[in-house]
């Protein structure tokens, strides 16, 4: 599952990088929760929560069966 999540993240990275940000995959647990860390401009952005839900989580859940949610750490 981790490889599929990474492929989905590759689809959203160009959008994040255009705005000076990035996302790092930390891991995927047995409950289907994907853990990511927002980097660069995304880490302190007031819209980070919206980016996480409407961009990153949406893309991963479209592409990877079994993913229940995406959570940002630190």
- Strand, helix or coil at 32? coil
Question: What pTM did the predictor assign?
Answer: 0.90
For residue 43, the model assigns a pLDDT of: 86
* Per-residue pLDDT tens over the stretch 16-70: 999 899 999 999 999 999 999 999 998 888 889 999 999 999 999 999 999 999 9
* pLDDT tops 80 at residue 74: no
Domain residues for 39?
2-72
Q: Work out how many domains the chain is built from and give that number.
A: 1
Whichever domain contains 34, its CATH number is 3.30.300.130
pLDDT at position 44 is 82
Say what the pLDDT of residue 52 is.
92
């Amino acid at each position: 599952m981790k490889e599929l999540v990474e492929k989905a993240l590759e689809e959203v990275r160009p959008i994040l990088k255009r705005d000076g940000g990035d996302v790092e995959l930390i891991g995927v647990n047995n409950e289907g929760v994907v853990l990511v860390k927002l980097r660069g401009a995304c880490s302190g952005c007031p819209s980070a929560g919206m980016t996480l839900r409407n961009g990153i989580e949406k893309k991963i859940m479209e592409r990877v069966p079994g993913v229940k949610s995406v959570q940002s750490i630190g």
